[in-house]
Structure 1
Amino acid sequence: MTYDAILFDNDGVLVDPPAHADQVAAIRDAFDELGIESADEEHLSALTAGVTPDLLADLERTYGVDREALWDARERHDERSQFEAFRAGRRDSYDDVTALADIDQPCGLVSNNHHTTVEFVLDRFAFGEQFETYYGRPMTIESLSLKKPNTHYLDRALSDLGGGSALYVGDSESDVVAAERAGMDSVFVRREHSRDVALSMEPTYEVETLHAVRDIANDAA
């Protein structure tokens, strides 16, 4: 199989994923900003990942707060928390990202994280030259329906790179599913946080480092 483009996820592939405790603390700050001082811990945790419009509607009814206001506060505090974690050194890039410079094909980045956070990462770690296109999501409720496993941003990124066959590199089941739906081969990276993840869909490849991704890409160039 030859590949015309290589696409990467961001969190957990290029950089450390956000710590759950940091995410919960940021969301608690968002509730505090809105005057909600007794938010249920399960609701705080539910807002860290896999958020749906239906969940926001439930929280609107539960706490009597406008869902748009809640999501706006959640996104702002989550963004701030992530920037602070990077600046404080609690999150960093993985050492093996150096392998990206040796990949022959054009590369893109597609993340479920905020587009602004993706831009922050590209700038902080000087990844900009490695990626010809990149997408995160806008900080809107509407963006939730476009997150992976939706193929929306994968399709856009591949189109930007000229189309053809592609390989998508991720660290979650939604990455593998999104690649499958987009007609792409997939690489599942088993880093420490994803070492024991059980997948219901088999990826095309499983690796432990980005050096292995480089070898797969270049062997198929």
Structure 2
Amino acid sequence: MPRYDAFLFDSDGVLVEPPTRETQLAAVESAFREVGVDAPPTDHADALAGGVTPARLTEVADAHGVAVDDLWDARERHDERSQFEAFRAGGRTRYDDVTAIAELPPNRGVVSNNHHTTVAFKLDFFDLGDLFDTYYGREMTVESLTLKKPNTHYLELAVADLGAESALYVGDSESDVVAAERAGMDSVFVRRDHNRDTDLSVTPTYEVTTLADVVALAE
């Protein structure tokens, strides 16, 4: 009997190159300008470019006298646009080892903290759609911030879609490992250039340097 009956993958940093910090900050600054803030403090721009919480987002919006939903809507649209532009311009691409996923048994999915629309774009742009049976990114809403990994929400949706009982989740961050553990899944931590020296405070089930190594775990 196979060890796993489903294989789930993070997107940025696993299937495709992650966005650069510079691109994220430029998108955030464009969002601030849209809502009338020409020179946001560095810590405010950093907050919106990273893993901002609803509480921190509210603090930032209140500090500038703008509505939370207006600021976040602008942030999401500009962030989405910047990613699409980076892919189309060749500034971001997919990893060569993604083709190894085709060697895995069926029942494969993508679960990402990025926008659902951006995940859909990447799968279409890089012709990866046939590799996966389901995919989830988050909605472009403030509420979705509470559902991001390490929350298990989107992992559980994907597992339900696939009817899996023993899924394996492949990611590139500590939150990926924690989410898998909380969902009762084994995890794979993929070390690439952007996370080569990352020190984890949690222990993944497996650690690899290429997606080709994941194929052996299916046996």
Band of TM-score, shorter chain:
over 0.9
Residues of 1 paired with 2:59 and 2:161: CA distance? Answer: 38
2:69 match: 68
TM-score in terms of structure 2 length: 0.98
Farther-moved stretch of structure 1 (47-56 vs 199-208): 47-56
Residues of 2 paired with 1:121 and 1:24: CA distance? Answer: 21
1:187–1:204 CA contact under 8 A, matched in 2: yes
| 3-state SS in 2 of match to 1:112 | strand
1:18 match: 19
1:112–1:147 CA contact under 8 A, matched in 2: yes
Residues of 1 paired with 2:55 and 2:45: CA distance? Answer: 15
Q: Match for 2:67: what amino acid?
A: D
2:134 match: 133
CA apart distance, 1:46: 1.3
1:144 match: 145
Is residue 2:46 matched to residue 1:45?
yes
Q: What do the CA deviations read for 1:162-199 (whole angstroms, capped 9, x no partner)?
A: 12101000000000000000000000000000111111
Superposition RMSD in Å: 0.8
2:112 match: 111
Residues of 1 paired with 2:50 and 2:161: CA distance? Answer: 28
Residues of 1 paired with 2:47 and 2:102: CA distance? Answer: 37
| 3-state SS in 1 of match to 2:3 | coil
2:154 match: 153
Is residue 2:36 matched to residue 1:27?
no
| 3-state SS in 1 of match to 2:49 | coil
CA apart distance, 1:82: 0.2
1:187 match: 188
| 3-state SS in 2 of match to 1:167 | strand
**Residue segments in structure 1 that go unaligned for 5+ positions in a row:** none
1:3–1:105 CA contact under 8 A, matched in 2: no
Q: What do the CA deviations read for 1:97-141 (whole angstroms, capped 9, x no partner)?
A: 010111014101000000000000010011111100000011000
Residues of 2 paired with 1:105 and 1:38: CA distance? Answer: 49
**Residue segments in structure 2 that go unaligned for 5+ positions in a row:** none
CA apart distance, 1:216: 1.3
Is residue 2:198 matched to residue 1:197?
yes
TM-score in terms of structure 1 length: 0.97
2:212 match: 211
1:122 match: 123
Q: Which structure 1 residue ranges, 4+ long, deviate > 2 Å from structure 2?
A: none
CA apart distance, 1:57: 1.1
Residues of 1 paired with 2:148 and 2:50: CA distance? Answer: 11
CA apart distance, 1:23: 0.3
2:83 match: 82
| 3-state SS in 2 of match to 1:47 | helix
CA apart distance, 1:74: 0.1
2:8 match: 7
Residues of 2 paired with 1:51 and 1:19: CA distance? Answer: 17
Residues of 1 paired with 2:106 and 2:165: CA distance? Answer: 12
Residues of 1 paired with 2:137 and 2:182: CA distance? Answer: 19
Residues of 2 paired with 1:45 and 1:121: CA distance? Answer: 25
Q: Match for 2:44: what amino acid?
A: H
Q: Match for 2:185: what amino acid?
A: M
